[in-house]
Amino acid sequence: MRRVGLAVAVLAFAASAAAANSVTATMTSSSAKPVVDQPWRWTVRVKSGAGKPVAAKVRLQILLGSTVVGCWKRTAMTQCSGANAGTWIAFKGKRTGVISWPAQSVGIKLTFQAVVVARTRTLRLRAPVTVQPAS
């Protein structure tokens, strides 16, 4: 009887530890069809399983198919390559930013990717983007 009680206590602890470590991340943007040289807003939110803001870091990348062709470096999006390209941006709970898409990206089906690291998890959030010409 003692072993069963201990096993139940261990399982309950493991379940609560897993719940305490759970993280959800979401990304929203102002449009799937941004316009060249116009501000385009993105927001990443990271919460615990209990809904509380969580400390995280994010790396922003632009993909063409599965290939990284652009990334956030220090203060702006630039051309780059490689899965680990880009500067990490630290935040807690929510991070919002604005970028402008260049004319060279008009009509190309791209993916805006946010690689989020929080606690022990790495999450890849992706949003399809097709840049439109300025009117």
User: How many CB atoms within 10 Å of residue 84?
Assistant: 10
pLDDT at position 19, please?
Answer: 55
Q: Where are the domains of the chain?
A: 23-130
For residue 16, pLDDT beyond 60: no
Of 2.60.40.1940, 2.60.120.380, 3.30.420.40, 1.20.1090.10, the CATH number of 23-130 is 2.60.40.1940
Beta strands in the chain (DSSP E): 23-29, 39-48, 55-64, 67-73, 76-79, 89-92, 94-100, 109-118, 121-130
Of 8 and 66, the structure prediction assigns the larger pLDDT to 66
Q: Would you say 81 and 68 are in contact if contact means Cβ atoms under 8 Å apart?
A: yes
User: Whole-angstrom Cα distance, residue 90 to residue 133?
Assistant: 32
Q: Confirm whether pTM is higher than 0.95.
A: no
Encoding tokens for residue 4? 């069963």
User: Whole-angstrom Cα distance, residue 47 to residue 32?
Assistant: 24
Average pLDDT for 93-106: 95
Q: How confident is the model at residue 13 (pLDDT cuts 50, 70, 90)?
A: very low
Length of the chain in residues, anyone?
Answer: 135
User: Whole-angstrom Cα distance, residue 19 to residue 5?
Assistant: 21
pLDDT at position 17, please?
Answer: 45
- Percent of the chain at pLDDT > 70 equals 85
Average pLDDT for 103-123: 96
